[in-house]
Structure 1
Amino acid sequence: MVASLLASITQATDQYPLLPTWKCTSSGGCIKQNTSIVLDANAGLASHPAGSRTAADYAAMGISTSGNALTLYHYVKGVSASPRVYLLGPDGKYEMMSLLNAELSVDVDYSTLPCGENGAFYLSEMKADGSGGGGSGPGNGYCDAQCPQGYCCNEMDILEANALATAMTPHPCKGNTCDKGGCGYNPYASGQKNFYGPGKTVDTSKVFTVVTQFAATGGKLSSITRKYIQNGREIDGGGTITSCGSESTTGGLTGMGQALASGMVLAMSIWNDASQEMAWLDEGADGPCAAGSGTPATILAQHPNTHVVFSNIRWGDIGSTTKH
């Protein structure tokens, strides 16, 4: 029976590109997890169900892994792939990250992402088996606070960013009532105009580490704090969020904490937006980008190679993920 179980687990995980991650504790250090990624089932490969896709399919969608690094290209041979993937555990189900009173860290390379582009690293309150939202199994069950296809759930945007601007934004939901705008922190919008960008305090022309801490008081989420590490130096000033709307209406920070405690699914994507051009992220009061500079046509013409790299993903006790 044990041999049969191991065989089924191996079969499940062999179908997907490997992306090892680490789970950490203050006392035991970081232990490698045999995690992998799966492409969203509704991504442009409808003829290949999520479980039967090949490495070539993933490459055609701009996705590759190498060691602990995931690379997502927006365009492949001049065509928009805009992939979104989810982290799977060794059992072939979504890895459920329990992050209340814990932290999540990742190394990122945003150096090729121009105005209008978004390399997103975030958490969704999806179900472990991918059920809900009209499907089931790996690659299915996506939900967020914008309620795609009417399927709403808590969403914690760890990073929505390019090389010019960044934001972290909790979007709590209570039932189908969600805080769609969220309670974001954007350094540029807060007045720190020289904090984030090429050659700035957090130099986005180079790789840096992003640490997001979800502190709890009395079992409830009390703050979300961002720290950066680059060239071996910790950089403060990344921002702290201590409230997020009405608990009675959308659940607020308490509701977000409950979702984090239960476990949320890590999603990673790269995208742009013809309607808003990511102006809410990087234009006007929110960033240095000029109006109109973030159109998909401009990005394709001037930055066809735009891509994001997420690597060295670690989660666990606060203070434990960067002691290595």
Structure 2
Amino acid sequence: MHFKPSFISLVAPLLAGLPIALSAEAYPSLPTWKCTASGGCVEQNTSVVLDQVAPFAQGAPGSRTADDYAAMGVSTSGNAVTLYHYVNSGGTLNAASPRIYLIDENGEYVMMTLLDNQELSVDVDYSTLPCGENGAFYLSQMEADGGSSGGAGAGMGYCDAQCQGYCCAEMDILEANLMATAMTPHPCKGDNCDKGGCGFNPYASGQPNFYGVGKTVDTGKTFTVLTQFIASGGVLSQITRKYIQNGQEINSGAISSCGSVKGTGGMPGMGESLGSGMVLAMSIWNDAAQNMGWLDAGGNGPCTDGEGSPSNIKAQHPDTHVVFSNIRWGDIGSTTSGEN
């Protein structure tokens, strides 16, 4: 994953002295499912929490209301969460760019352990995300408590392979919009992280007709994304991507190597992070520096240079949003049985 905008470095010092009233936070409910091959899928009492810095919300972290979540472009309905990039604040359209995390009923981050032949599935709707926009669904090796008592309940403790917050491993399940998609592991060994990662992008791999509106995976409609982590002897050997749409399973591709084992840990290091437990993060953002060209332009997608600039998106696609739903994780073959 390339740079994800963060307000933490600017605002966190101002938040350090604020009290955290966990009982007052109105966490939007987002039920998910943990699955096994033998027992099927069991619903989890999970919710989402905003990242600690929510610039247009009124409430302090730990005491935000449903209105604060809405003001940051976050809403849930049933098992679906919708993230809006832009929100109307006082008659002005502002970029909220929300980032959220999955938490459990005890106010700690859900730790997904996905090393030992496990999979993660999610239904996605990218139909309103144009060139330059990124609906991200990914895993971060954050601490379950957010680094302090009550920290997760206030959306604290973010880290990634770009060393925002601090350095930690990151597994980008999805970075995508209507036109292009990428899956990218970013292993770390200590503070030495594979910032560029080892991405798999169908368009860049020579499949220009695979992903997009009306293509093999039709992004104008909802589809299921299935990511499988293949391990042998406790060592990650492959990350496989499949899609399900209209009842049909569509094979895409796989990643079987990732950088230097000695340098950043490589695939085994990524597996160690997956085995220790990682936190699910979801966000929507755009990219003033590169206009998301690393994802969807040039050899990476059909978008033209500059087409994905934030100013173009704001003017032409103010309603841009992403929907993630039906999140399930567990044994390979268990999360999509009977789905779609």
- Structure 2 equivalent of residue 141 of structure 1: 157
- Structure 2 equivalent of residue 129 of structure 1: 145
**1:73 and 2:87 matched:** no
Give the C-alpha shift of residue 51 in structure 1: 1.4
Counterpart AA for 2:164 = P
- Structure 2 equivalent of residue 111 of structure 1: 127
Matches within 5 A, 1:1-324: 15-45=26-56, 48-77=59-88, 78-100=93-115, 101-131=117-147, 136-138=151-153, 139-149=155-165, 151-236=166-251, 238-324=252-338
1:187–1:221 distance in 2 versus 1, CA, 3 Å: same
**Structure 2 CA distance for aligned equivalents of residues 37 and 200 of structure 1:** 32
**Structure 1 CA distance for aligned equivalents of residues 310 and 113 of structure 2:** 36
Which range moved further: 302-311 or 41-50?
41-50
Aligned-residue identity in percent: 72
Alignment RMSD, CA only?
Answer: 1.4
Partner SS state of residue 260, structure 1: helix
**Structure 1 CA distance for aligned equivalents of residues 237 and 315 of structure 2:** 44
Instruction: Report Cα offsets for 1:291-314 as digits up to 9, x if no partner.
Output: 010000000011000000000000
Give the C-alpha shift of residue 12 in structure 1: 5.0
Instruction: Report Cα offsets for 1:99-145 as digits up to 9, x if no partner.
Output: 1120000000000000000000000000000017xx93320000000
Contact 2:238-2:254 within 8 A present in 1 as well: yes
Give the C-alpha shift of residue 90 in structure 1: 1.6
1:289–1:123 distance in 2 versus 1, CA, 3 Å: same
Counterpart AA for 1:175 = G
Instruction: Report Cα offsets for 1:190-245 as digits up to 9, x if no partner.
Output: 00000000000000000000000001011100100000000111011x21000101
TM-score, normalization: structure 2?
Answer: 0.89
Contact 2:56-2:71 within 8 A present in 1 as well: no
Contact 1:12-1:92 within 8 A present in 2 as well: no
- Structure 2 equivalent of residue 7 of structure 1: none
Counterpart AA for 1:23 = K
Contact 1:12-1:91 within 8 A present in 2 as well: no
- Structure 1 equivalent of residue 9 of structure 2: none
Give the C-alpha shift of residue 15 in structure 1: 2.9
Task: Give 5+ residue unaligned stretches, structure 1.
Answer: 1-10
Give the C-alpha shift of residue 42 in structure 1: 1.5
**Structure 1 CA distance for aligned equivalents of residues 221 and 193 of structure 2:** 35
The runs of at least 4 consecutive aligned structure 1 residues that moved more than 6 Å come to none
Counterpart AA for 2:94 = V
Contact 2:56-2:96 within 8 A present in 1 as well: no
Partner SS state of residue 148, structure 1: coil
Contact 2:58-2:64 within 8 A present in 1 as well: no
Contact 2:25-2:64 within 8 A present in 1 as well: no
Give the C-alpha shift of residue 19 in structure 1: 0.1
**Structure 2 CA distance for aligned equivalents of residues 214 and 44 of structure 1:** 36
Give the C-alpha shift of residue 45 in structure 1: 4.8
Instruction: Report Cα offsets for 1:78-104 as digits up to 9, x if no partner.
Output: 210000000001211000000112000
1:202–1:142 distance in 2 versus 1, CA, 3 Å: same
Counterpart AA for 1:170 = P
TM-score, normalization: structure 1?
Answer: 0.93
Task: Give 5+ residue unaligned stretches, structure 2.
Answer: 1-21
Instruction: Report Cα offsets for 1:238-257 as digits up to 9, x if no partner.
Output: 21000101111101111110
